[in-house]
Each structure stands twice: as structure tokens, then as C-alpha cells.
């Protein structure tokens, strides 16, 4: 089943889309991967969803990626004895380490790590930023704040800390248990929420040990400040614009999105643009014009994937949302300016054999007008480096590793195929021509480009480029 676009679509599963028939409909509509939000998913439900996705994968005969999104630390206030309270701009509001009955003057803060880390000047954003407090003093037992934006405050409202680095890290006990369950279920990607520093990613990598790709969600100012070191340890990044827009000025988010997408492409690491892309389609069968433009912007930026959250998980029109996103993406990729914009963003090849081969393959493919670039990739590196070039020529990523083929379903432009590794150079050429023919990318008489690593089966050793003709029987003609 071949897509008519290069950017991938990641659809979140939920109450509106948990049945196998709906998952199949979402895949048919254009979803390339599925996200399971562990904030709302038990381990039994996780295994059930993975089983259903794998059944859909078998039905369509195509590798489908699965991402398990860890909840991360949920920071919340304590409770108010007399119900919701009104706090006013300029008043003092105290946060207590010890348990107290909350009132308009203060409340218990059931997170000792916050009390340990708060410093004068640090902001606390309450209830998605509707209320804002600024710390005046903190003696470890009580933190006195001044109300900068007031309003109604009530039990268990969420807290965001744009200025504070917590020592507890990004993984809770729940996240650790969820991570082990996700690895046991053989998901393909793990998304880590509320990353603040590279050490948060390193902690997850020690547990994952290469069994899945590790994706860091960039949703905190602290992560933006440490983007280089976080990206170094991550296999992919997600621009999680929802929380990012709470903790940072809204007007800064579009520029940060561009910065992250450009950095990821330069590094050759997949990047997802997420949150509220077609938000109105939770209740409406059509998106707003602004949402359509938002999706188009991510496509023009060369993002590897664009994501649907509640639109596909809990909305009234999950399949229509995927269809709409796919149509928008396809239209932009046909736009006369699309190729020139991607070309202008193209980074120089890094000084590696894989990058030089991938860059040459793209140039030769576009000069000769070949039907496809076929990459033999065991570790995924060859396919990802080919994608980094953003060629106009279709890319087929052939891997003997089914888990890697599923993981590559996230990567821009890659049409993943599972197949045996080549036994010889002649077998490599014949296999490449046959797959290009059978997958509908090339006709007899057309040329393809093949990239691979020799000796065969050596991960990360891209050092071979070959041009071949597709013969009448789908095998190599010359």
C-alpha cells in the first residue's frame, strides 16, 4: 500500500479509535503510525491495542510503527477545604510542604522536589497558565509567592514550572512500569515527556537498550535551552506545542518549531510536529482555515511526521481527521514551491561515507530521473541518511529487520519493506529491481539507484552506490 506523500501521519488511539476495524480505517485513510498515550492506557489495554495494530499490519502487509507516549510527572496543587477560591493580583499566596487545609491564602504542595528547587523569581503557572504566581521566598517549608495573574483556583490544578529544574528527572514510578510494559509489548518508539536535560534521556536509554527508538518531547523551556545535548542522546524529537505554549510566550513557539525541525534535519534525526493541528475536528467534520495552514507549514518545513491527538483519539470524526490531514499534506507536496523550499533548507553532507553516498544518490536520481532510490538498511542508518536529503525521488527502505522497518515508518519519504539481506552484488541488484517493480515504483526499462553497505549485513556501513535497469520480468535488465 503506497502513500502519495512523503510526510508521515501519526494518529493517537483512544476511546473513538480502539477497535480493530477503526484502526484499519485510520490506516487506510493515511495513518502511518499509531500513538498510545500511557496517561490513559492500562498495561492490559496497551497489549490489546498492540495486538490489534499488528493484526492490521498483517492485513495490509505493510510495516506499521507504534509509539508509546509516557505520561511524565504530573505536578498538581493540594486541595481547598472550602472549595474553589478567588486569588487577586498582588496578594501573597503561600505553598506549604506540610499538609494544610487550602484557602485563599495558601495550599499544600504535594511535591517535595518542587519545594526543594523553587528559588526567588521562579514562576508557577497554574491550570494551563490561567493563573500565574512568582516566588518571593522559600525556606524549604513554605514558599511565599505573589499573584501576577489571578482568578479561580481549585483542587488538584496542574502546575507548570518554566524556570525550575527538578532533581527528580522526567520519569516517575508509573513511567518506569509503563516503559517496561511497552518494551515487553514490542512497541517501536518510546516518547519521553517533560524532558529537561540530557540526563533524562540517558536514564531511559539505559532501560531501552536499543529495543525501541527513544523520542524526546520538547515541551519545556529548559529543554529548548539544552536542545543540542538532548538531541545528541535522542533518536527523534517531538515539538509538543501544547505545553510548550503554556510555559513559553505563544509568539515564540513558531520560531522554536522551525529551529527544532531545521536542527533535526541537519542531524539526520526524525522530528514530529504535534498538538492541536486539526483541533476543531474533535467536534467538526472540517478544520478551520488556520489549522489547514498550520499543517501545511509543518509540511513545508520538511517535518518527518505530523500528529493527531484528541482528533483521532476521542473526536467525533477520527477517520475524517486523518483523511483531511493526508489531503492537506499531499496538496502541499504537489505545490510548485515545495521542492525549492526543501532544497533551500538542505544541510551540507556530513563528512561520512553514508552522507556522501546519500547526497550523490539524490543528485544522480534527480539528474537521471530514476524511478526510485532503494536503500538496504539493517540498522536504519542508510534509510535515515537518504531521507535527510529530502529527494524528490521515492525512497524504498529494504530491511531484513522487521522491527527496524516498523521504526522507519516514522521517517520522511521512506517506503519500508521487509526482506532478506542480499547474498551477493548480483542478488542485491536483482532484489532491488524486483521490489521497485512489485511495489509499484518502477516499470521495465526504468532505472533505479541502489545504496547499501558492503560487506552485506554490516550495520551503518553505507559505501556502495549502483545504477540498475528494471528488466521485463522485474529483475535487473542490465
pLDDT at 460: 61
Instruction: Give, for all 478 residues of the chain, the pLDDT tens digit.
Output: 789 999 999 999 999 999 999 999 999 999 999 999 999 999 999 999 999 999 999 999 999 999 999 999 989 999 999 999 999 999 999 999 999 999 999 999 999 999 999 999 999 999 989 999 999 999 999 999 999 999 999 999 999 999 999 888 889 999 999 999 999 999 999 999 999 999 999 999 999 999 999 999 999 999 999 999 999 999 999 999 999 999 999 999 999 999 999 999 999 999 999 999 999 999 999 999 999 999 999 999 999 999 999 999 999 999 999 999 999 999 999 999 999 999 999 988 888 888 899 999 999 999 999 999 999 998 899 999 999 999 999 999 999 999 999 999 999 999 999 988 888 889 999 999 999 999 999 999 999 999 988 777 666 678 889 999 998 876 665 5
Catalytic residue at 142? Answer: no
The pTM assigned to this predicted structure is 0.94
Query: For strand 142-149 and strand 131-138, is the pairing parallel, antiparallel, or unpaired?
Result: antiparallel
CA 342 to chain centre: 20
Cell of 388: 535527510
Largest CA distance in the chain: 83
Catalytic residue at 35? Answer: yes
Phi-psi map region of 398: left, alpha, beta (phi>0 left; psi -120 to 50 alpha): beta
Q: Where along the chain do the CATH 3.20.20.60 domains lie?
A: 8-72+170-333
Cell of 91: 496578594
Catalytic residue at 164? Answer: no
Q: Where along the chain do the CATH 2.40.33.10 domains lie?
A: 85-160
In the set 145, 164, 261, 275, the catalytic residue is 275
pLDDT at 71: 95
d(CA 326, CA 28): 11
Q: Where along the chain do the CATH 3.40.1380.20 domains lie?
A: 348-469
In the set 132, 197, 217, 406, the catalytic residue is 217
Give the angle 281-220-262 at the CA atoms, nearest 5°: 75
- Superfamily of domain 8-72+170-333, CATH level 4: Phosphoenolpyruvate-binding domains (3.20.20.60)
Q: CATH number for the 348-469 domain, one of 3.40.640.10, 3.40.50.1010, 3.40.1380.20, 3.20.20.70?
A: 3.40.1380.20
In the set 35, 97, 265, 434, the catalytic residue is 35
CATH number for region 85-160: 2.40.33.10
Amino acid at each position: 500500500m503506497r502513500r502519495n506523500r512523503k510526510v508521515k501521519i501519526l494518529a493517537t488511539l483512544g476511546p473513538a479509535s480502539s477497535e480493530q476495524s477503526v484502526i484499519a480505517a485510520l490506516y487506510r485513510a493515511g495513518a502511518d503510525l499509531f500513538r498510545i498515550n500511557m496517561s490513559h492506557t492500562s498495561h492490559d489495554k496497551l497489549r490489546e491495542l498492540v495486538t490489534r495494530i499488528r493484526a492490521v499490519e498483517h492485513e495490509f502487509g505493510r510495516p506499521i510503527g507504534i509509539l508509546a507516549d509516557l505520561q511524565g510527572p504530573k505536578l498538581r496543587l493540594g486541595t481547598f477545604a472550602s472549595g474553589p477560591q478567588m486569588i487577586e493580583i498582588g496578594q501573597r499566596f503561600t505553598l506549604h510542604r506540610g499538609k494544610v487545609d487550602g484557602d485563599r491564602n495558601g495550599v499544600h504542595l504535594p511535591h517535595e522536589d518542587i519545594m526543594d528547587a523553587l528559588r526567588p523569581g521562579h514562576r508557577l503557572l497554574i491550570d494551563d497558565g490561567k493563573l500565574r504566581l512568582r516566588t518571593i521566598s522559600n525556606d524549604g517549608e513554605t514558599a511565599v509567592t505573589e499573584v501576577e495573574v489571578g482568578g479561580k483556583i481549585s483542587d488538584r490544578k496542574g502546575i507548570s514550572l518554566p524556570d525550575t529544574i527538578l532533581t527528580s528527572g522526567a520519569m516517575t514510578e508509573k513511567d518506569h512500569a509503563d516503559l517496561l510494559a511497552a518494551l515487553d509489548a514490542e512497541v517501536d518508539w518510546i516518547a519521553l515527556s517533560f524532558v529537561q536535560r540530557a540526563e533524562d534521556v540517558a536514564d531511559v536509554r539505559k532501560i531501552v537498550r536499543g529495543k525501541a527508538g527513544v523520542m524526546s518531547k520538547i515541551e519545556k523551556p529548559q529543554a529548548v535551552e539544552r536542545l543540542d545535548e538532548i538531541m545528541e542522546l535522542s533518536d527523534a524529537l517531538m515539538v509538543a506545542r501544547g505545553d510548550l505554549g503554556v510555559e513559553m510566550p505563544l509568539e515564540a513557539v513558531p520560531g522554536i518549531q522551525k529551529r527544532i525541525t531545521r536542527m533535526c534535519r541537519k542531524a539526520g534525526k526524525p522530528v514530529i510536529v504535534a498538538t492541536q493541528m486539526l483541533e476543531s475536528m474533535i467536534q467538526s467534520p472540517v478544520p478551520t482555515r488556520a489549522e489547514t495552514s498550520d499543517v501545511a507549514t509543518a509540511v513545508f518545513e520538511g517535518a518527518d511526521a505530523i500528529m493527531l491527538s484528541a482528533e483521532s483519539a476521542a473526536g467525533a470524526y477520527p477517520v475524517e481527521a486523518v483523511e483531511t490531514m493526508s489531503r492537506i499534506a499531499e496538496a502541499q507536496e504537489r505545490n510548485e514551491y515545495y521542492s525549492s523550499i526543501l532544497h533551500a533548507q538542505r544541510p551540507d553532507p556530513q563528512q561520512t561515507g553514508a552522507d556522501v553516498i546519500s547526497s550523490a544518490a539524490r543528485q544522480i536520481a534527480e539528474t537521471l530521473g530514476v524511478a526510485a532510490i532503494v536503500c538496504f538498511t539493517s540498522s536504519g542508518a542508510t534509510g535515515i541518511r537518504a531521507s535527510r536529503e529530502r529527494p524528490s525521488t521515492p525512497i524504498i527502505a529494504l530491511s531484513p529487520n522487521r522491527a527496524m522497518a516498523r521504526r522507519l515508518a516514522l521517517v520522511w519519504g521512506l517506503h519500508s519493506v521487509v526482506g532478506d539481506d542480499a547474498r551477493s552484488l548480483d542478488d542485491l541488484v536483482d532484489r532491488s529491481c524486483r521490489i521497485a517493480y512489485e511495489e509499484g515504483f518502477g516499470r521495465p526499462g526504468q532505472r533505479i539507484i541502489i545504496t547499501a553497505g558492503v560487506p552485506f549485513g554490516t550495520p551503518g556501513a553505507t559505501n556502495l552506490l549502483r545504477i540498475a535497469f528494471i528488466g521485463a520480468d522485474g529483475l535487473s535488465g542490465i
